[in-house]
């Protein structure tokens, strides 16, 4: 079949995302760093025969120092946008004490992004907390919104000039469930009650921060929501599906979208809905990434069309694949973009796509082995950056603003 040319809207943003803790290195003042070095975590890794250095962020990709090289590569790959994370733990190392040095650092980082022609999305919270904040109970604390907003307000004053879009909190639903329900991320709790409390405090924190950001900067604001495509399984009722949709996608969105100027969508997986709305990663019938997650590009299209009801511009703030051999990344990107294009044809106001991730990085509990990067980080060779073949294919799309499919 002859290939079709699928054009994207004028001024579409093309780029890739990263987060602070996952690439910078030495985020030593954070709860994630403390967790990685806790006796319990280390013993657990050793019992499983793992090398600690593969599961501790350490110097990560050293992007704290090598950011300019990373942005230069993004520019070389025809990207016109980037999403970075800044670390609260660096900026406010002690409660109420803001580090000029770190604010200057992030100013330089953003200046560099701009000098490389990149529109900037800045995430203010991506899973990691300052230690002092986690000692106060983090988002379990009823003052958490106020504490977060104070930090956001300082950042708004200092980094506004080089920021085009703000993302307040990355994946509140993942943060809350992994940290307070499933016991996987610090502080490792398993409590439905605490999860609900944290979710509601995150909602309040976002709404407070969004108001400040708008007032001080006037720039567009969103959360980065991880949204799922849900498929009812067989006999399961409408009620289970409705419940899953509500818990997975709508509870937080409905309570925060009012203070958002756009919707930041992180899309990875498609889920089957089980009884009581419990979700299961769908794996059958699909190709899988290196982490065993099923690949389901149609789901992204369906999701984007569903989001039309909110009547806001949409930016895809993450979508990516762990593929160390770079065997299916090109196809992954093209298949997802095919459905993004189809959703745009159906009226979804999608204005940008940021692949996750620009470079291989520290993949939280999995350590360094899952490879999401357009650019490989060679950990055996001084963290050398090596552009993957799929990145050059994505670069063609970024340049042409169309997909040949
Ligand atoms: C998170 C990233 C993570 C990616 C791949 C997203 O949900 O925001 O931090 O690296 O998933 O697991």
Mean pLDDT of 349-359: 99
Tens of pLDDT, residues 58-80: 999 999 999 999 999 999 999 99
Q: Please give the number of the atom of ligand 1 that sits closest to the Cα of 361.
A: 10
Question: Residues near 134 by Cβ (< 8 Å), separated by ≥ 6?
Answer: 31, 34, 186, 187
Q: How confident is the model at residue 133 (pLDDT cuts 50, 70, 90)?
A: very high
pLDDT, residue 276, reads: 67
Q: Is the dihedral of CA 48, 53, 56, 61 positive or negative?
A: negative
Token output for 365: 């509990």
Instruction: Name the percent of the chain lying above pLDDT 90.
Output: 89
Q: How confident is the model at residue 385 (pLDDT cuts 50, 70, 90)?
A: very high
Above 80 in pLDDT, residue 274? Answer: no
Closest Cα to residue 319, out of 343, 341, 335, 305? 335
pLDDT, residue 341, reads: 98
**CA distance to 20, 67, 312, per residue, from 57 (Å):** 11, 17, 36
Classify residue 227 by its DSSP letter: -
With vertex at residue 47, the alpha carbon angle to CA 45 and CA 53, rounded to the nearest 5 degrees, is: 30
pLDDT, residue 282, reads: 65
pLDDT, residue 2, reads: 80
Mean pLDDT of 267-286: 74
Cα(362) to centroid of ligand 1, in Å? 10
Least confident of 1-15, 31-45, 228-242, 391-405: 228-242
| Distance in angstroms (rounded) separating the CA atoms of residues 216 and 246 | 33
Cα(2) to centroid of ligand 1, in Å? 36
Cα(264) to centroid of ligand 1, in Å? 14
CA 183 distance to own-chain centroid: 20
Tens of pLDDT, residues 164-209: 999 999 999 999 999 999 999 999 999 999 999 999 999 999 999 9
Q: Please give the number of the atom of ligand 1 that sits closest to the Cα of 372.
A: 5
Above 80 in pLDDT, residue 237? Answer: no
Q: Which of 224, 319, 356 to mutate to test the pocket of ligand 1 (most atoms within 8 A of CB)?
A: 356
Q: Quick one: angle between helices 329-345 and 389-400, nearest 10?
A: 20
Number of Cβ within a 10 Å radius of residue 234: 5
Cα(10) to centroid of ligand 1, in Å? 29
Q: Please give the number of the atom of ligand 1 that sits closest to the Cα of 226.
A: 7
In the structure, which protein residues have their CB atom closer than 6 angstroms to any atom of ligand 1?
Answer: 19, 22, 170-171, 174, 226, 266, 318, 356, 363
pLDDT, residue 242, reads: 79
pLDDT, residue 247, reads: 82
pLDDT, residue 246, reads: 82
């Amino acid at each position: 079949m002859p290939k079709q040319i699928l054009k994207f809207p004028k001024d579409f943003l093309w780029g890739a995302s990263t987060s602070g803790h996952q690439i910078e290195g030495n985020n030593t003042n954070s709860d994630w760093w403390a967790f990685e070095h806790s006796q319990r975590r280390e013993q657990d890794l050793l019992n499983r025969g793992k090398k600690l250095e593969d599961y501790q962020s350490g110097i990560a990709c050293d992007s704290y120092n090598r950011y300019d090289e990373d942005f230069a590569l993004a520019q070389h790959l025809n990207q016109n946008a980037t999403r970075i994370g800044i670390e609260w733990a660096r900026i406010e190392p002690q409660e109420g004490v803001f580090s000029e040095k770190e604010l200057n650092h992030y100013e330089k980082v953003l200046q560099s992004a701009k000098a490389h022609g990149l529109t900037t999305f800045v995430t203010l919270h991506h899973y990691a907390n300052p230690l002092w904040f986690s000692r106060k109970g983090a988002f379990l604390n009823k003052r958490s919104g106020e504490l977060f907003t104070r930090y956001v307000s300082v950042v708004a004053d200092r980094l506004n000039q080089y920021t085009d879009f703000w993302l307040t909190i990355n994946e509140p639903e993942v943060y809350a469930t992994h940290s307070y329900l499933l016991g996987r991320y610090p502080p490792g709790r398993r409590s439905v009650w605490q999860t609900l409390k944290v979710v509601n405090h995150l909602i309040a924190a976002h709404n407070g921060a969004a108001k400040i950001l708008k007032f001080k900067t006037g720039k567009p604001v969103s959360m980065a929501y991880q949204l799922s495509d849900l498929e009812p399984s067989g006999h399961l009722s409408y009620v289970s599906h409705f419940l899953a949709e509500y818990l997975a996608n709508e509870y937080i969105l409905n309570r925060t979208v009012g203070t958002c100027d756009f919707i930041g969508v992180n899309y990875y997986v498609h889920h089957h809905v089980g009884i009581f709305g419990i979700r299961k990663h769908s794996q059958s019938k699909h190709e899988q990434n290196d982490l065993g997650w099923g690949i389901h590009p149609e789901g992204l299209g369906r999701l984007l069309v569903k989001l039309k009801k909110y009547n806001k511009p949409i930016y895809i703030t993450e979508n990516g694949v762990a593929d160390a051999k770079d065997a299916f990344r090109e196809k992954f990107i093209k298949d997802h973009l095919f459905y993004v294009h189809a959703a745009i044809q159906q009226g979804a106001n999608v204005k940008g796509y940021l692949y996750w991730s620009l470079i291989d990085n520290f993949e939280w509990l999995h350590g360094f082995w899952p490879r999401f990067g357009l650019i490989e980080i060679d950990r055996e060779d001084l963290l050398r950056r090596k552009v993957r073949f799929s990145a050059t294919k994505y670069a063609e799309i970024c340049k042409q603003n169309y997909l040949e499919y």
